[in-house]
Amino acid sequence: MVSKQSIRGDAMRIDIVTLFPQACSDFLSTSIVGRAQRDGLVDINCVNPRDWTDDKHQTVDDRPFGGGPGMVLKVEPLAKCIDSIRDTAPDAKLIMTSAQGEHFTQNHAQSWSEEAHLIIVCGHYEGIDERFVELYQPIEVSIGDVVLSGGEIAALLVSDAIVRLLPGALGHADSAKEDSFSGDEKLLDHPSYTQPREFRGLHVPEILLSGDHGAIAKWRKEQRLKRTQQRRPDLLE
Ligand code: SAH
Does 94 share its domain with 205? no
Question: What's the pLDDT score for residue 176?
Answer: 81
How far, in Å, CA of 152 to CA of 16, rounded? 8
Give yes or no for residue 18 CB within 6 A of ligand 1.
no
Domain membership of residue 172 (yes or no) is no
Question: What's the pLDDT score for residue 175?
Answer: 75
Q: What confidence tier does 9 reach under pLDDT thresholds 50, 70, 90?
A: low
Q: Which atom of ligand 1 is nearest to the CA of 146?
A: 22
Question: What's the pLDDT score for residue 6?
Answer: 40
pLDDT for 7 beyond 70: no
Question: What's the pLDDT score for residue 3?
Answer: 38
Does 50 share its domain with 114? yes
Domain membership of residue 178 (yes or no) is no
Adjacent-strand bridge partners of 124: 150
User: What percentage of the chain has pLDDT greater than the value 70?
Assistant: 95
Instruction: Collect all residues with Cβ–Cβ distance below 8 Å to 35 and sequence separation of at least 6.
Output: 169
Give yes or no for residue 100 CB within 6 A of ligand 1.
yes
How far, in Å, CA of 143 to CA of 158, rounded? 8
N-to-C CA span, the chain: 42
How far, in Å, CA of 140 to CA of 12, rounded? 21
pLDDT digits (tens, 9 = 90+) for 44-63: 999 999 999 999 999 999 99
Question: What's the pLDDT score for residue 1?
Answer: 37
Give the distance from CA 223 to its chain's centroid: 27
Domain membership of residue 73 (yes or no) is yes
CA of 209 to the centre of ligand 1 (A): 47
Domain membership of residue 177 (yes or no) is no
Domain membership of residue 171 (yes or no) is no
CATH number for the domain spanning 55: value is 3.40.1280.10
Q: How many Cα atoms sit within 13 Å of 53 on the Cβ side?
A: 14
pLDDT digits (tens, 9 = 90+) for 54-90: 999 999 999 999 999 999 999 999 999 999 999 999 9
Element (H, E) at 109: helix 106-112
Domain membership of residue 224 (yes or no) is yes
**Domain termination site, one of 134, 163, 192:** 163
* Count of the separate structural domains present in the chain: 2
